[in-house]
A and B are shown apart, each in its own frame.
Chain A
Amino acid sequence: EDQVTQSPEALRLQEGESSSLNCSYTVSGLRGLFWYRQDPGKGPEFLFTLYSAGEEKEKERLKATLTKKESFLHITAPKPEDSATYLCAVLLRSRVDQAGTALIFGKGTTLSVSS
């Protein structure tokens, strides 16, 4: 069964304390991996897409990396405004053949950054 697992479920950091969030996947044929940010009471907001092992993407204090089994979202010197739930999602090769992008989402990691 295709699975996406995010860890930890919750993470508390002090401002400036760097850390990483993990997204591991057990899927048959990965076409792409996506990271989204979700603020309380709002819809997810797209951050990154990664397509192949070794690929990296950066945006401000965030850097996403991809291996054959997992992806990391590294947060460097976080600020309180980085507090949110971070969602990981995968797109399978089998689903690409069908029209539409049917993603499988993980349950998310809730990050809290205190000043």
Chain B
Amino acid sequence: NAGVTQTPKFRVLKTGQSMTLLCAQDMNHEYMYWYRQDPGMGLRLIHYSVGEGTTAKGEVPDGYNVSRLKKQNFLLGLESAAPSQTSVYFCASELAGAYEQYFGPGTRLTVT
């Protein structure tokens, strides 16, 4: 039981490049979340999904897109990376309505 996994662990992008972060969970959880964590800012919700094929915006959605084509996977896309998107990105999953969120190990992204 791997829990929540994230790919890749580290990535360096140049301004304007695009990339996709992959989150996978093997706990059959309905809800999945993408957060970013910046020094002095705490965790902030980017987008979330309450089921396959559904997504919703969180606090800081601009510059990101997401997709949930399969229940176990949640993808976060950056179409045109900006230095302001340098951050650590965490994915989390939750059994619907249980409130307890399980986090992945994070992806450290640097945009130069």
Interface residues of A (CB under 8 A from B): 32, 34, 36, 41-46, 49, 87, 89, 91, 98-103, 105-108
Would you call A107 and B45 a contact (CB within 8 A)?
no
Q: A46-B100, A101-B31 are in contact. List 9 more A-B contacts (CB 8 A).
A: A34-B99, A41-B105, A43-B90, A43-B103, A43-B104, A99-B31, A100-B31, A101-B94, A101-B97
Interface residues of B (CB under 8 A from A): 4, 31, 33, 40-45, 48-50, 56, 58, 90, 92, 94, 96-97, 99-106
A-B contacts, CB under 8 A, total: 58
Q: List 16 A-B contacts (CB under 8 A).
A: A43-B90, A43-B104, A43-B105, A44-B101, A46-B100, A46-B101, A46-B102, A49-B99, A89-B43, A100-B33, A100-B49, A101-B101, A102-B45, A102-B48, A103-B45, A105-B42
> Within the assembled complex, what's the spacing in Å between the Cα atoms of A68 and B50?
30
Would you call B31 and A107 a contact (CB within 8 A)?
no
- Contacting B99 at CB < 8 Å: which of A43, A45, A87, A91? A91
Would you call A43 and B41 a contact (CB within 8 A)?
no
Give the secondary structure class of B's interface: strand
Give the secondary structure class of A's interface: loop
Q: Residue of B at shortest CB range from A106? A: B42
Would you call B50 and A107 a contact (CB within 8 A)?
no
Would you call A100 and B48 a contact (CB within 8 A)?
yes
| Known contacts A43-B4, A43-B105: A49-B42 contact under CB 8 Å | no
| Known contacts A43-B106, A100-B50: A105-B99 contact under CB 8 Å | no
Which residues of chain B are near A45, meaning CB under 8 Å? 103
Which residues of chain A are near B99, meaning CB under 8 Å? 32, 34, 49, 91, 101
> Within the assembled complex, what's the spacing in Å between the Cα atoms of A114 and B60?
37
Which residues of chain A are near B101, meaning CB under 8 Å? 44, 46, 101, 103
Would you call B43 and A44 a contact (CB within 8 A)?
yes
Which residues of chain B are near A46, meaning CB under 8 Å? 100-102
